């Protein structure tokens, strides 16, 4: 584990990063309280994902997200893709008290190769993640990506809600759906076309204007979850680059001992790979080419402005 610490505006934030699993976040601790769900998670039978889901953040991709599906070569894309459970190259680690840079070489399910260059930092209470995925293999592959920010359901109560301009009406309760487990999906830009709208497969030109009020002129989308009584009525503020993460997915599960809510910026809508291909939502990342993803999150006071 690698630890990053930050003290800002009366809040102490500690980030525990797991070098055995792509430098994902094993724990986010705010003033001594861990927001991670820990053991209160369901199991899909994949030990990589069971371990990752216990932590605050894990990453799906870069070749697949969601449930297993066949590859073109007769194998299977694993649950949530090939990245989870992949260790970092120890000799690439560079770290200070509040920054960390690492490289992860990934064996893709279809035989290809990719490299993740990952940089974490904490500045003035804001955690910043910058990811760059390069195709280091000999054949193209379609990149898919999703961040799971997993929050312990025990922290939620009747006053906790989800706020974001991409949500119809701007706010929703956290117990969405009618069953013990449910998903919802919104275009990050708040497009009225709904969750079946095609994502933009390529980056917008630098300086281009974003569409929809949910996204700022710099292509960042925002969602806020809270307040949490256990955090003195503070909230979790999340921002993500929508050029390559054009959807916001959310998932919750309150079943038996399971109690977790996940906020999930994602590259593609909920659909099988053939359906995504048919709608031209899968674009090919050529050998030597790269794609970037970016995310920020932090804890904010009730009267505090959003992260910047």
**pLDDT mean across residues, the chain:** 90
pLDDT, tens digit (0-9, with 9 covering 90-100), for 252-266 = 999 999 999 999 999
**Is the model's pLDDT at 215 over the cut of 90?**
no
pLDDT at 62 over 50: yes
Has residue 233 been placed in a domain?
A: yes
Q: What is the mean pLDDT of residues 50-64?
A: 97
pLDDT band at 305 (very low <50, low <70, confident <90, very high): low
In tens, the pLDDT along 14-24 reads 999 999 999 99
Q: Is 308 a domain residue?
A: no
> Among 94, 83, 86, which Cα is nearest to 133's?
83
Phi, psi of 274 (to 5 degrees): -60, -35
Mean pLDDT computed over 191-209: 34
With H, G, I as helix, E, B as strand and everything else as coil, classify residue 108: coil
Q: Which residues pair with 259 in a beta bridge?
A: 254
- Condensed to tens digits (0 to 9), the pLDDT of residues 147-170 reads 999 999 999 999 999 999 999 999
Do the domain assignments include residue 232?
Answer: yes
**In this predicted structure, what is the pLDDT of residue 72?**
87
Q: What is the arithmetic mean of pLDDT over 221-250?
A: 97
Q: Do residues 260 and 200 make contact, with C-beta atoms less than 8 angstroms apart?
A: no
Question: Does residue 199 form part of some domain?
Answer: yes
**Interatomic CA distance for residues 186 and 9, integer angstroms:** 33
Residue 307 lies in a domain: no
Task: Examine the pLDDT at 202 and tell me if it is beyond 80.
Answer: no
127 domain-assigned: yes
303 — pLDDT class (breaks 50, 70, 90): confident
Predicted TM-score (pTM) of the model is 0.90
Give me the pLDDT at residue 195, please: 39
Q: Average of pLDDT values for 123-132? A: 95
In a domain, 305, yes or no: no
Please report, rounded to a whole number, the percentage of residues in the chain having pLDDT higher than 70: 90
Taking residue 82's Cβ as centre, other Cβ atoms within 10 Å add up to: 22
Overall residue count recorded for the chain in this entry: 308
Report residue 171 CA to chain centroid gap: 20
Task: Provide the pLDDT for residue 201.
Answer: 32
SS3 154: helix
Q: Which domain holds residue 13?
A: 2-300
Q: 211 pLDDT exceeds 70?
A: no
Number of domains into which the chain is organized: 1
Per mean pLDDT, which range of 5-9, 125-129, 169-173 is the poorest? 5-9
Q: Is residue 143 over pLDDT 60? A: yes
pLDDT number for residue 12: 93
CATH of the domain at 91: 2.70.98.10
| Mean pLDDT along residues 182-186 | 96
- Phi, psi torsion values for 154, nearest 5 degrees: -65, -15
Distance between CA atoms of 14 and 122, rounded to whole angstroms?
A: 9
Q: Could you give the CA distance from residue 21 to residue 122 in angstroms, rounded to a whole number?
A: 20
pLDDT of residue 306: 67
């Amino acid at each position: 584990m690698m630890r990053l610490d930050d003290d800002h505006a009366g809040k102490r934030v500690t980030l525990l990063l797991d070098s055995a699993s792509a430098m994902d976040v094993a724990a986010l601790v705010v003033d001594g309280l861990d927001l991670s769900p820990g053991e209160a998670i369901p199991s899909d039978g994949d030990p990589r994902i069971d371990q990752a889901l216990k932590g605050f953040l894990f990453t799906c991709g870069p070749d697949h997200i969601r449930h297993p599906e066949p590859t073109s070569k007769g194998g299977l894309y694993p649950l949530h893709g090939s990245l989870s459970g992949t260790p970092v190259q120890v000799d690439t680690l560079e770290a200070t008290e509040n920054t960390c840079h690492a490289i992860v070489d990934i064996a893709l399910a279809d035989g290809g190769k990719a490299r993740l260059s990952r940089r974490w930092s904490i500045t003035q209470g804001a955690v910043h993640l910058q990811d760059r995925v390069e195709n280091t293999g000999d054949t193209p592959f379609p990149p898919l990506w999703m961040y799971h920010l997993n929050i312990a359901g025990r922290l939620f109560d009747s006053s906790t809600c989800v706020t974001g301009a991409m949500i119809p009406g701007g706010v929703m309760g956290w117990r969405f759906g009618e069953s013990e487990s449910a998903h919802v999906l919104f275009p990050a830009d708040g497009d009225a076309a709904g969750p079946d709208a095609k994502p933009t497969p390529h980056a917008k030109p630098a300086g281009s204007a974003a569409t929809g009020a949910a996204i700022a002129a710099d292509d960042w989308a925002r969602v806020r979850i809270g307040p949490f009584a256990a955090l003195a009525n503070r909230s979790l503020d999340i921002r993500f680059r929508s050029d390559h993460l054009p959807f916001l997915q959310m998932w919750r599960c309150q079943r038996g001992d399971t109690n977790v809510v996940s906020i999930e910026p994602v590259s593609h809508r909920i659909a099988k790979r053939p359906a995504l291909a048919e709608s031209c939502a899968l674009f090919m990342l050529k050998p030597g080419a790269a794609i970037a993803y970016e995310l920020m999150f932090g804890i904010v006071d009730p009267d505090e402005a959003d992260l910047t």
